[in-house]
């Protein structure tokens, strides 16, 4: 184990993504948590807010604090798990002090502030930072991330959809004159750790429902990503669903091919595109991704099938929404930025059952 | 309670659909169970196989029996909840004795035996019966059902998809040159009461997965139904998903309109089409169906939204897969056949939570 | 349906117990809801707060209102599902106007106001009403209930424990020099429909925990009930657990016998005690109660076994906590008070799965 | 990472405990899997039987094999996750070849073969091995384990009950003239990966039930352990419950004290007894163990409270049944036997939510 550990501050430590960051950093051989920040829970020990962490943190970092730039400036990297819109100012302060920033919110995911402003219904707090921000989806944009100090960590749904379709789009084989349809199912951690009625056990248990139909804010992020991969404008109809499980996203994606392709050729596309990617697993034919099969891990499991009757391709991808869809991908980005092997601290075997 | 009760035999009494038939018939003011039939459990009291029925059945019908045509012939109606392919012969025998048949399997759902044979990979046992069979989706084909003695009770997924789209198709407003995409999520009762590994609690809990992608046998049933409603051939890409809940189907359906229509016009279509239908509820704008909101009831909850960006219409429908998707619809068909008000015995308030 | 319907007002209509009252009253052949009352949701249609009720209520009762004594006075009976302490004053007003009151809270469960005040940490608002209140556990105190206008509807846990032990205690066969241990597991509806963090799906899913150990307020209610049955003071150690399920209580109870008794004699005690009770089912030997087997019904399933090694008797009882443990029992009490057959409107078959 | 890795063979690789062993060994810095054995699945790749392991095993160990003593003899240690009774013969063969054996079944848990034979209803296959076997509960019997080659890995329920009570019993403060009552709730993995009807999702979801009341085979194991700790015979009434969750055991234990003790004295007992134990966490007063708070980890969370009204002490303990209750404890035993720090490879942060 290296003596030179990366010092990390976690902002938003009391939430689910924040907690997952803590879980992963605690198991990371070359990172250490130097402070936990959380507005609503400042002054409370983490183990009081999230008792499963009992015993893990030394006294000096065990308590959640208000954000203090002087203290945060001692970190090498800051992970921001904050509500949309709150991150940008914090990021600006941190960058000024030389702290690298990995933002799990949406503030730095868009190249174009106008798109952000249109969908997030608010002016962007620091549009001048956007040019230096990178979209942190390592399997697709690793080289850019390497030298970057400000990462817009991708949304959970967009991660799964982009990884699912990248090989096809990069090969120019998708017919993007038609919209891509992404029907996505998320575990309830996706909604955050908020005491809201519709997230109560008794409201959500044993039930599934769509929400944000034809209007969810991950839509432009998916479109931006797919368009960039394809080199042409992609239009996406994205429907998220609240699914009675704690974690996981399953995306079922429907896309038209430019021309018919035999299934083995198609599979070869994915196989080759992800040949060197540790975190992407193409499952064997007819073995379909199950969200629980990636639980707690940074994997993205993918499978696909061409429906010969309609000519549409169905691609399915499963991730753990708070690992590959949030905290795990953030740590993967940290590894890249700090020159570590990308899997460092991220080789958890999925926890099934 | 009327003195003239309908005598019903339930074949397949030990399964989930059979159990639900028993539950509904026990609460039906004008029906009575005269025999329970089940091959694998013959000789065992129902309350041993399904202990929640303890106390409900009188001694003479409390035990599951082998099918006996002489005894079954005393019934007015037989509900068949049998594996695909097994029903046809039993139905033939029953019809000969003057017993009306409501088959919950696929044997009598298709007008064309060839379609059945192609998808179910077996010759149809009694194709000569098909012309006299009716497809039992009352909201769409009530008049045919009325005089019919042999009902092919619709599949669970097809029920939800057809009810979701009927108003649009009947109005000729769908652009069927493009395939309809039906992304459907089912509770695990949909797979039946079989001791198979992938249906174990620990395999299915807290996880969602697609299955039978681009090949599920409900596809041709959906296509037949949509085509008939539209008066032209409809092509469907149907993807079912196993969802960690006991009951319920949520279908999220993507369809292209022939021409743009404002949302209020669209909503009016559904409103009018189902104005007199007790079992179909169009939810208010932005209130999306939750499967638990129809649990235990015969309702189909629907909502829809036009995605102006892609021009696609999203229609969502939720049913309880073993009520409106099986046993409840079967009882609804029984009510029609025997001239009872259609809601008789089917006015259960959904059991939520 | 009878022309002479009982008019009922439900106070606390937006909660889970209130919702269950509405569900049961809607299916009751001789009751009708004349008003829905709820403080926090006044002015909102019930179908907005609890969308599964869409279509069930006529316009004039569809909206939740603030409590208005003039309107409430038109009812024959009021069901109060209110927080502890709030009911007493409302009850007093209603009784004055001749409305019978069935209170689902704790205010009228205790004979002795001091016990209430000690455990509920507040003075009793109307102790002078206690002498005219009856404890509404019909299987045990039916005769008292019959002529009563003010019912203290039992708590969910106490219902299950008292029904489990009544035959033994009434026969004087329990050794009450030792405490009775009641280890009880409740579904999460038991905690009410409150937006609190520990009730979120992601906090409660896939997990079980005790709470209120050695201090839960149902303890004195259980003790009062057991003591009255036994004719001597019973002491109870009661431990509730939050269980990852929507509904249901399972109570596992450990009690010492005064003297050894063979198992068949013991079983006969329960068999005889409940011989005429529709809602209590003694399961066959070695078939243990499952909470789901009573879901949505007013049943209490019981089984027992003597542990010969320790001489302790284990009695298990399962109920649906919001039916037999709240709303169903309340309707059962209403039936008794108004002279209807006790099962009226309460013959729901359990909804399993 | 050490160059001298412990070579391990996992027998019973297709089950849940076997899978958990694989998960933990894959993350262990000083162990490597040299073979996977499984009778029913021999010849199939692990990633086919348990697809979540895709990508983790190198080709030479990726396939489950029939047990072959010659191959197994190359291992340093064998983990046996086999049905009761099957392990003893396999263990004998392995020990002869110098392979250390950690048996997750019951064959080597009892000092006295007669107790085993009475409860497991079969003669013990190798009683002559019992004297050299150690009961592998490290927090209690670490010193014995250290030099031992044959470990009887404790049962899941007994682990939780013994850890919960050890401080009290070791201090001689329990009044064992009265039976200890252990009311235990287990996740469904505890029943194994068997395709049985009562373990189906739809049978177990949203429901809790007791089983094996007054007769479960973990009873004598608990009694043996408690008696040894106390130095006198302890009698236990143990009631297991099937709880709708994948993992976890919560044990709620009721025990009488020899004499009243103030709560702080009691807490100090546990605090001191476990002061140096990494895997046991005494939670703060009134914070009760939640099974999910230890999910995926080797922790045992404990809390306790004296019920002053009855004089009984309530102790609650939560473990992950397939980690601390099976595979994790087995790895902990391996670490001890091979002279590694006990936490090696076992510092997983619980996966919550």
Give the pLDDT confidence of C256-277 residue by residue, as tens digits. 999 999 999 999 999 999 999 9
Give the chains touching B; criterion: ≥3 Cβ pairs < 8 Å: A, C, D
Between C214, C219, C247, which is nearest D314 by CB?
C214
Ranges of chain A whose pLDDT falls below 70 = 1-3
Span C212-261, pLDDT tens digits: 999 999 999 999 999 999 999 999 999 999 999 999 999 999 999 999 99
- Of all residues in chain A, the one with the smallest CA distance to D17 is A353
Cβ of residue A195 closer than 8 Å to a chain C Cβ: yes
Of C201, C206, C244, the CB nearest to A200: C201
> Is 0.95 surpassed by the pTM of this model?
yes
Q: In Å, how far are D59, D86, D96 from D134, measured between CA atoms?
A: 35, 18, 17
CB contacts of C15 in chain A (<8 Å) are none
What residue of C is the nearest CA neighbor of D320?
A: C207
Among the partner-chain residues A27, A283, A353, the one whose CB lies closest to the CB of D54 is A283
pLDDT at C16: 97
DSSP conformational letter for A5: P
Specify the pLDDT at position C3: 55
Query: What backbone torsions phi and psi does residue B230 show, to the nearest 5 degrees?
Result: -85, -20
Place of tokens 């939720």: B318
Contact assignment for D292 to A52 by CB distance below 8 Å = yes
C130 token code pair: 């206690």
Per-residue pLDDT at A238: 98
Say if C44 is an interface residue toward chain B (CB within 8 Å): no
Q: Do A314 and B213 count as a contact with CB atoms less than 8 A apart?
A: yes
> What is the C-alpha to C-alpha distance for residues C272 and C295, in angstroms, rounded to an integer?
25
β-strands C312-319, C249-256: how paired? antiparallel
Searching chain A, which residue's CA lies closest to the CA of residue D188?
A353
Asked if C209 lies within 8 A of D288 by C-beta distance, the reply is yes
Judge contact between A239 and B250, C-beta under 8 A: no
Q: Which residues of A touch B213 (CB under 8 A)?
A: 288, 305, 307, 314, 316
Chain A positions in Cβ-Cβ contact with residue D348 (cut-off 8 Å): 27
Contact B108, B94 (CB under 8 A): no
pLDDT given at position B3: 55
Instruction: Assess contact for A186 and A208: CB atoms under 8 A.
Output: no
Among chain A residues, CA nearest to D294:
A52
Do residues D157 and D238 lie in contact, with contact meaning Cβ atoms separated by under 8 Å?
A: yes
Q: Which of C54, C55, C293 faces B52 most closely, judged by CB atoms?
A: C293
Structure-token match 């303990």, residue found: D317
Kindly report, residue by residue over C7-51, the tens digit of the pLDDT. Answer: 999 999 999 999 999 999 999 999 999 999 999 999 999 999 999
Report which of residues C60 and D4 the model is more confident about.
C60
Is-catalytic flag, B184?
Answer: no
D206 touches B at CB < 8 Å = yes
Q: What is the pLDDT of residue A2?
A: 46
Q: Residue C2's pLDDT is what?
A: 46
Question: Does D48 touch chain C if contact means CB atoms closer than 8 Å?
Answer: no
Q: Do D349 and A53 touch (CB under 8 A)?
A: yes
Q: What is the mean pLDDT of residues D147-158?
A: 97
Q: Measure D300 CA to nearest chain C CA, in Å.
A: 14
Peptide bond into C103 cis (omega under 30): no
Distance separating alpha carbons of residues C226 and C171, to the nearest angstrom: 12
Q: Name which of A196, A202, A246 is nearest C189 (Cβ-Cβ).
A: A202
pLDDT tens-digit map of D290-321: 999 999 999 999 999 999 999 999 999 999 99
Domains and CATH numbers, chain D: 6-132 (3.40.50.720), 157-321 (3.30.360.10)
List A34, A148, A156, A300, catalytic entry: A156
Of the candidates B34, B148, B156, B300, the residue annotated as catalytic is B156
Inter-chain touch D243–C203, beta carbons under 8 Å: no
Which of C19, C281, C351 is the closest to B54 by Cβ?
Answer: C281
Residues of chain C with C-beta less than 8 angstroms from the C-beta of A193? 197, 200, 202
Contact status, residue A202 vs residue C193, Cβ threshold 8 Å: yes
Q: Is C321 within 8 Å of chain A by CB?
A: no
Contact predicate D329/C179, CB 8 Å: no
In this predicted model, what pLDDT tens digit does every residue of D209-244 receive, in sequence order?
999 999 999 999 999 999 999 999 999 999 999 999
pLDDT at C1 over 60: no
Q: Name the residue in chain A with its Cα closest to that of C191.
A: A202
A99, A204, C316 from B283: Cα distances, Å = 50, 18, 42
C186 in D contact zone (CB under 8 Å): no
Q: What is the DSSP-derived secondary structure letter of residue D325?
A: I
Measured between beta carbons, the chain B residues lying within 8 angstroms of A307 are: 213-214, 237
Cα–Cα nearest to A124, from A137, A110, A135, A104: A110
Is D206 in Cβ contact with B201 (below 8 Å)? no
Residues D297-318 as b or e (16 or more Cβ within 10 Å = b): bbbbbbbbbbbeebebbbbbbb
* Residue A39 near residue A66, CB atoms below 8 Å: yes
Helix (H, G, I), strand (E, B) or coil at B152: strand
To test the contact with chain B by mutation, choose from D191, D198, D202, D205 the residue with the greatest count of B C-beta atoms within 10 A, namely: D202
Question: Rounded to whole angstroms, how far apart are CA atoms B126 and B162?
Answer: 26
Contact C207 D292 (CB under 8 A): yes
- Counting as contact any 3 or more CB pairs under 8 A, the partners of C are A, B, D
B335 touches chain C (CB under 8 A): no
Closest alpha carbon within chain D to A288: D51
Please give the average per-residue pLDDT across B155-183, as a whole number: 98
8 Å CB contact of C237 and D310: yes
CB within 8 Å of A27: residues ≥ 6 apart: A345, A348, D347, D348, D349
Nearest to B91 by CA among B83, B80, B81: B80
CA distances (Å), origin A168, targets A229, A268, B254, C214: 9, 11, 22, 61
Contact C207 D316 (CB under 8 A): no
In this complex, is the C-beta atom of D208 within 8 Å of any C-beta atom belonging to chain B?
no
| Minimal Cβ distance to B51: which of C283, C295, C349 | C283
Which residues in chain A have their CB less than 8 angstroms from residue D284's CB?
Answer: 48
Question: Residue D201: its chain B contacts at CB < 8 A?
Answer: 188, 199-201, 203-205, 244, 246
Choose among B287, B349, B353: nearest Cβ to C27.
B349
CB-CB under 8 Å, C27 with B347: yes
Average pLDDT for C310-337: 98
Q: What is the mean pLDDT of residues B209-221?
A: 97
- pLDDT of C22: 98
Neighbouring-strand partners of residue D147: none
Q: Could you give the residue ranges of the DSSP H alpha helices within B14-86?
A: 16-26, 46-49, 69-72
B82, B105, C180 from B85: Cα distances, Å: 8, 8, 56
Which of the following is catalytic: D34, D148, D156, D300? D156
Dihedral, C54, C60, C61, C62 alpha carbons, nearest 10:
30
Q: Is D247 on the interface with C (CB under 8 A)?
A: yes
Chain C CA closest to residue B353: C246
């Amino acid at each position: 184990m290296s003596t030179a550990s990366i010092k990390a501050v976690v902002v938003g430590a009391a939430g689910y993504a924040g907690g997952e960051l803590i879980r992963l950093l605690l198991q990371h051989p070359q990172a250490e948590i130097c402070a936990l920040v959380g507005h609503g829970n400042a002054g409370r020990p983490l183990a009081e807010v999230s008792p499963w962490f009992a015993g893990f943190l030394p006294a000096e970092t065990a308590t959640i604090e208000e954000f203090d730039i002087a203290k945060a400036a001692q970190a090498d990297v800051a992970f921001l798990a904050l509500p949309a819109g709150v991150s940008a100012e914090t990021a600006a302060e941190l960058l000024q002090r030389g702290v690298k920033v990995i933002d799990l919110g949406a503030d730095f995911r868009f190249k174009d502030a106008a798109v952000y402003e249109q969908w997030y219904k608010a002016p962007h707090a620091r549009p001048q930072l956007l040019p230096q921000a990178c979209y942190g989806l390592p399997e697709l944009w690793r080289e850019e991330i390497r030298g970057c100090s400000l990462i817009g960590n991708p949304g959970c749904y967009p991660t799964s959809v982009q990884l699912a379709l990248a090989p096809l789009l990069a090969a120019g084989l998708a017919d993007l004159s038609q919209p891509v349809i992404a029907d996505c199912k998320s575990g309830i951690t996706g909604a955050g750790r908020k005491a809201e009625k519709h997230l109560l056990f008794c409201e959500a248990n044993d039930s599934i429902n769509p929400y944000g139909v034809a209007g969810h804010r991950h839509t432009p992020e998916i479109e931006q990503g797919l368009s960039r991969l394809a080199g042409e404008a992609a239009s996406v109809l994205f429907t998220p669903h609240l699914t009675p499980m704690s974690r996981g996203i399953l995306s079922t994606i429907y896309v038209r091919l430019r021309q018919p392709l035999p299934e083995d050729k198609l599979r070869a596309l994915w196989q080759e595109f992800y040949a060197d990617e540790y975190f992407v697993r193409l499952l064997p034919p007819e073995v379909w991704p199950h969200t629980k099969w990636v639980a707690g891990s940074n994997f993205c499991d993918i499978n696909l099938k061409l429906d010969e009757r309609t000519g549409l391709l169905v691609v399915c991808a499963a991730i753990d929404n708070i690992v590959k869809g949030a905290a795990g991908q953030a740590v993967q980005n940290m590894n890249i930025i700090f020159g570590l092997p990308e899997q460092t601290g991220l080789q958890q075997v999925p926890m099934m059952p």
